[in-house]
Amino acid sequence: MKKRKSRRSALEDSKLEKVRRIKPKRSRRKGMGKGALIKGMTKRLPSEILANPLFRVGLQGVMRGYAGIYALYRGPKLYYVGLTRNLFGRVRWHLKDRHARKWDSFVIFRIKRVNYLKDIETLLMQLVTTPGNRVKGKVPRDADINRVLRVILREETAEIRKIAKALQ
């Protein structure tokens, strides 16, 4: 019985070591072409994959230390969108926090330029309603186009009232 366990653990250790050595390919392209912002993404992965030692080590190598955006799904529906500077730790943490057992799969996007993370998350939150997110994200006051349109509407409404009053 002990030989079987030691063979099995030796086999698992060798597999884990191979997975640890896998490095994500880095693109050598320069410029503002395709892939300038997103540096990696996954297809939808089940949350149980984070508990599997082989996949956990591989995902850790691919995700740890990278910033990005992740999406949590409950069945076919998007449940939560978040941003982080540590993808692996953040997605794993959601298995234990207030979102625990409220999602069953996830997608990650590694982002190269960390200073755009908040803007991308705000964009996504404005496009899609997610039950898990409490905050929608905010746009700087000078970038709020609706505010400019309200000012124009207010001015034009005043002009129309003057014309209407003159016609009475």
The full set of domain ranges for the chain reads: 14-22+35-137, 139-168
Share of the chain above pLDDT 70, in %: 74
Most confident of 70-74, 83-87, 98-102: 70-74
CATH of domain 14-22+35-137: 3.40.1440.10
Question: How does the average pLDDT of the chain come out, rounded?
Answer: 78
> Is residue 6 pLDDT above 70, yes or no?
no
Band of the pLDDT at 34, cuts 50, 70, 90?
Answer: low
Q: Which of 115, 133, 113 is nearest to 71 (CA)?
A: 133
- The pTM (predicted TM-score) of the whole model is 0.62
- Cβ contact 68:87 at 8 Å: yes
Confidence band for 113, pLDDT divided at 50, 70 and 90: low
pLDDT at 48 > cutoff 60: yes
Report residue 24 as tokens: 């994500």
Alpha helix ranges (H) inside the chain: 2-21, 53-63, 87-93, 117-127, 145-167
Question: Which pLDDT value is given to residue 30?
Answer: 56
